[in-house]
Structures are given as C-alpha cells and as structure tokens.
C-alpha cells in the first residue's frame, strides 16, 4: 500500500517570540513540495503571523491544544475555530505535557479531537506510556487503550495523525530502540484497523516523537512503520529541523526505491 507523504512536525511548546518567526522563514526557504509534509506548532500568539509567513509553502501551521467546546465562558482558553481563524490548519491534542500537567484524560482528548475535526482542523493525537508502564511491560496495552479512547468515531486517515510519544523519551535524550518503536506502531495500527474498519485500504500516519534530533532521525526512519516524527527541542532552530526534514526525504526515497 503506498502511503501518504511522511510528516515532520515541530512542537515549539512554550517557546517562541516575534524574533523566532525568522526560523519559520528559514524552514520555508529550505523545503520543497517534493519533500515530506512539514508542520510547525508555535505558541498561539504567533499563529497568525506564522500562517501568513508560511502561506504558499509546504509548511502547515498548527496549534498546540484546543478547548473541547466551540465557544463560551472559558477564560484563557482557545477553541478550535479561534485557532482556525488565526490561520492554524492542525492542532496537537493529548500531548503528555497536557495529559500529566493538566490532568487531561483520553476522554478529554477525545472531546478536543472531535472539536478540532468539527472546526475543520487536522488533529495530531498523542499517546504514549510512562517509564513505569514501560518497565512493567504495559506499553502495548497502554498505547492500545489510549488509541481506542482518544480517537473520535469521525476520525479518518486524512484528518487524524497519531503520534506515539513515550513520556519518558520526551525532552530526556532517551529513546526506545527501533524494534520497540516498530512494535508499538504495529499495535497502534492494529487498534486503528479494529476501530475504523471503514478505512481499510487507507494508510493512517503514525508518527514517533521523543528526543528526535538531526543525529538520530535517519535511524528512526529505518523503521518503515514510522510515517513521520513529532519533534520538540530540535524543531526550535531551522538548521536542525531542516536536517530532520532532509532525513525524512531520504527515507521516503529509500522506501520508494525498494517498492
């Protein structure tokens, strides 16, 4: 089955001032339509300018979270339609920093993803086990449960991307072995197949995230199960993010040549 393009996403988290918009300009200048799909998720304050800068390029701009309700008395929160209005075309939901730091459950993530899809945004839904769960051998079960509980019924391979991000690998410099990444991606894919039988024959994009850098991206793409990466720290500077994009492009070319 020929899949969609690889997806290389940069999550800026709570980083990014006006001066950092130049990184988006540099990424835009360094990508080509023949390369992977590229997305940058800056803080909400930069969305509008980032989207204007990226216009007409293969770089999509997304937000890092959204509220589950379409509008209302939720001081400080942002709805999916507000984010879309600001220029976002995608939104990350269920990042482990939201699940752990803000007590978000898979049920909350499900509601947010549903709101995103209703507003016409693509949802990048994060799942992943903690260190304790990995050590206890629970990673496959935890990830399968999170997929089942976090994806709304209206999800499709065109509108939802799943990002497998082991919590213990985020921002730590640690990462699972390639066979371990492959094994969880296979679990995710079989859950997707089970819950979305209507999408048989279509390819869901399953990303890996957790301490991806310019130095290890090529080896992560050695797993043909990896349809892209969600990158935190290494996405903040254009040269390192572009090096990861180049690794994705090389991986696509290698995969195409062995088909």
DSSP tag of 211: S
Give me the catalytic one of 97, 133, 165, 191: 165
95 assigned to active site: yes
Q: List the one residue out of 240, 228, 97, 245 whose CA is nearest residue 172.
A: 97
Comparing CB distances to ligand PEP, the nearer of 204 and 208 is: 208
143 binds ligand PEP (CB under 6 A): no
Please name the residue that has the structure tokens 């935890």: 142
The SS3 call for residue 127 is strand
62 binds ligand PEP (CB under 6 A): no
Comparing CB distances to ligand PEP, the nearer of 155 and 235 is: 235
Site string for ligand PEP, 42-61 (x = CB under 6 A): --------------------
Give me the catalytic one of 67, 95, 110, 185: 95
- Shortest approach of ligand PEP to residue 154 CB, angstroms? 24
DSSP states along 22-65: HHHHHHHHH--TTS-EEEEE--GGGHHHHHHHHTTSSEEEEES-
Q: List the one residue from 170, 214, 226, 244 that touches ligand PEP (CB under 6 A).
A: 170
165 binds ligand PEP (CB under 6 A): yes
Considering Cα of 62, then 67, then 68, then 72, what sign does the dihedral take? negative
- Beta bridge partners, 72, equal none
Output the residue with the shortest Cβ distance to ligand PEP.
232
110 assigned to active site: no
Comparing CB distances to ligand PEP, the nearer of 64 and 79 is: 64
How would you label 161-179 residue by residue, b for 16+ Cβ within 10 Å and e otherwise?
Answer: bbbbbbbbbbeeeebbebe
Site string for ligand PEP, 206-245 (x = CB under 6 A): ---xxxx-----------------xxxxx-----------
- Shortest approach of ligand PEP to residue 234 CB, angstroms? 6
Comparing CB distances to ligand PEP, the nearer of 58 and 232 is: 232
190 Cβ neighbours under 8 A, 6+ residues apart: none
- Shortest approach of ligand PEP to residue 167 CB, angstroms? 10
Contact 41, 64 (CB under 8 A): yes
Q: Under rule CB under 6 A, how many of the chain's residues touch ligand PEP?
A: 14
230 Cβ neighbours under 8 A, 6+ residues apart: 9, 11, 92, 124, 126, 163, 165, 207, 208, 209, 212
As annotated, the active-site residues are 95, 165
Positions that interact with ligand PEP (CB under 6 A): 11, 13, 165, 170-171, 209-212, 230-234
């Amino acid at each position: 089955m020929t899949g969609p393009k690889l997806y290389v996403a940069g999550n800026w988290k709570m980083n990014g001032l006006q001066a950092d918009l130049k990184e988006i300009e540099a990424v835009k200048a360094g990508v080509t339509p023949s390369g992977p799909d590229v997305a940058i998720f800056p803080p909400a304050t930069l969305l509008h300018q980032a989207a204007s800068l990226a216009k007409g390029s293969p770089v999509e701009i997304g937000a890092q979270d959204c509220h589950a309700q379409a509008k209302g008395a939720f001081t400080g929160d942002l709805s999916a339609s507000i984010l879309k209005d600001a220029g976002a075309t995608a939104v990350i939901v269920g990042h482990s920093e939201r699940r752990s730091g803000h007590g978000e459950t898979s049920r909350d993530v499900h509601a947010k993803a549903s709101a995103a899809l209703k507003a016409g945004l693509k949802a990048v839904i994060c799942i992943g086990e903690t260190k304790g769960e990995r050590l206890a051998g629970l990673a496959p079960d935890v990830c399968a449960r999170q997929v089942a509980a976090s994806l709304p019924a209206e999800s499709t391979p065109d509108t939802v991307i799943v990002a497998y991000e082991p919590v213990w690998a985020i921002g730590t410099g640690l990462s699972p072995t390639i066979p371990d990444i492959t094994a969880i991606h296979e679990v995710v894919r079989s859950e997707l197949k089970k819950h979305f039988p209507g999408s048989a024959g279509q390819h869901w994009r399953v990303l890996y995230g957790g301490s991806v850098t310019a130095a290890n991206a090529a080896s992560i793409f050695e797993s043909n199960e990896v349809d892209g990466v969600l990158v935190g720290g290494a996405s903040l500077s254009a040269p390192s993010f572009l090096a990861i994009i180049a690794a994705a492009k090389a991986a696509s070319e290698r995969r195409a040549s062995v088909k």
